[in-house]
Amino acid sequence: MKMLSCKYYFFKLVRNGFKSCLLLIIFNFIVLYTFGQTADNSAPILRKIEVGDYPPPIKVKEWIKGSNIEKFEKGQIYVLEFWATWCKPCIRAMPHLSELASKYKDKVTFVGISIYELEKTSVQEIKTFVDEMGDKMSYNVAIDSNGFMARNWMDGTGSDGIPKTFLIDSNGKLAWIGQPMNLENVLEQVINKQWDLEKEKLKVRERNYKDSIGTVFSYTILDYEYINIPDSAIVEINRRIKKEPKLQYTYFPTIYTFQELLNIDQKKAVAYGKEILSLDIDPKYDIIIESILNNETIHFIPEIYLLGAEAYELFMAEAIKGEYPDLSIYYARMADWYFKGGDQQMAILTHKKAIESMIKDQAKELEELQKKLLEYQKGKTDK
């Protein structure tokens, strides 16, 4: 799923009753290990920035594809995409970014910045990766300079996780920060000078505030010994939301509530789940899908499986657009949930999509194998 990894497993550790200090040590270790720590973390951030501010400068170790971008020129729009060779969602977004780079080549400069690489990953390995991507990565590409870009762009804006896209408007200001698959609509507005920068600035501030109080909630809820007593947990969650209404529908209170309802009243869980899916919150389908997947010991009523299938429909709409691999696995699971929910017709229809997707994936793999065979027969290879 999308941003679920660290956030959801953090939630699982909390839910299983670990003490705060041990939990934070483990969580920080996971993040540090994943990102490889190639950056110089002792170096300070130049300044904290937000949407509407002028962005930090570009400082890279080496440009490995396209043109060198030394500074942001006024009148030109820029898209900076932060990625890593190990980041599967980053790789899935690259063809889409390449399409946008081609579509807006006379108006927008696209730049991919490799950050958070593992210590063992060499510059040559990054170059080889970019070469092998070919037209799927058809824009300017550079490698971070000792963590400068990661610190001043990611940390400086309070951004977490890659891929992460930064959009700089023609006035040289940071106009938007988000996921690459959500870029095109915003980019069109920026190009046509229809983007409301002040509105976006306020929206980001509101989102960051909600994230911060949601995270504090996830820590402090550990102080309550009754967290494993479902009714008491729901009462405490509702008490806190009444005290701070902006907590409502933030990630941790929402997933706590849904999982507690799965244990005590599945009919209410279905109603609450449908409410979640109807709202503009993120990642709403992750909350539903992962909660069902990770509570398989519970005997679910059919409506829970149908709710899960509905959440999968939302996920698949994004996955198809983002060219996710192995879509057949998701279709097959969705079909299984439709069947367990009693909708045989949708189960059959969805399972057919799983089969079609697998055939399509195998055709792509076969094409790659045949291409490699031709290279061998010609006596040369890209490697």
The per-residue pLDDT for range 247-299, each reduced to its tens digit, is: 888 888 888 889 889 988 999 999 999 999 998 776 788 899 999 998 878 89
Mean pLDDT of the chain: 83
Six-digit token pair at 223?
Answer: 């102080």
Look at residue 369 and tell me if it is in a domain.
Answer: no
Close Cβ partners of 140 (under 8 Å, ≥ 6 residues apart): 63, 65, 66, 67, 68, 69, 109, 110, 111, 112
For residues 75 and 131, membership in a common domain is answered with yes
Question: Model confidence over 113-158: pLDDT tens digits?
Answer: 999 999 899 999 999 999 999 999 999 999 999 999 999 999 999 8
Distance CA 60, CA 57 (A): 10
- 143 — phi, psi (to 5°)? -110, 135
Look at residue 164 and tell me if it is in a domain.
Answer: yes
Distance CA 41, CA 61 (A): 16
For residues 237 and 298, membership in a common domain is answered with yes
CB 72, CB 55: distance < 8 Å: yes
Close Cβ partners of 233 (under 8 Å, ≥ 6 residues apart): 221, 224, 226, 227, 256, 260
Q: Give the total number of structural domains in the chain.
A: 2
Confidence bin at 29 (pLDDT 50/70/90): very low
User: Which pLDDT does position 212 carry in this prediction?
Assistant: 81
- DSSP letters spanning 179-237: -GGGHHHHHHHHHTT---HHHHHHHHHHHHHHHHHHHHHHHHGGG-GGGGSHHHHHHHH
pLDDT higher than 60, residue 347:
yes
CB 252, CB 287: distance < 8 Å: no
The CA-CA-CA angle for residues 5, 311, 324, to 5°, reads 55
Look at residue 16 and tell me if it is in a domain.
Answer: no
Close Cβ partners of 270 (under 8 Å, ≥ 6 residues apart): 301, 303, 304, 307
Close Cβ partners of 288 (under 8 Å, ≥ 6 residues apart): 258, 273, 276, 277, 307, 308, 310, 311
For residues 222 and 352, membership in a common domain is answered with yes
Look at residue 37 and tell me if it is in a domain.
Answer: no
pLDDT above 90 coverage of the chain, percent: 52
In this structure, the number of other CB atoms found within 10 A of the CB of residue 49 comes to 19
For residues 247 and 170, membership in a common domain is answered with no
Please state the pTM of the whole predicted model: 0.69
For residues 244 and 173, membership in a common domain is answered with no
For residues 281 and 339, membership in a common domain is answered with yes
Query: Residue 109 sits in a domain of what CATH number?
Result: 3.40.30.10
For residues 217 and 355, membership in a common domain is answered with yes
Query: Residue 253 sits in a domain of what CATH number?
Result: 1.25.40
Distance CA 277, CA 280 (A): 8
Average confidence (pLDDT) over 324-335: 86
For residues 105 and 150, membership in a common domain is answered with yes
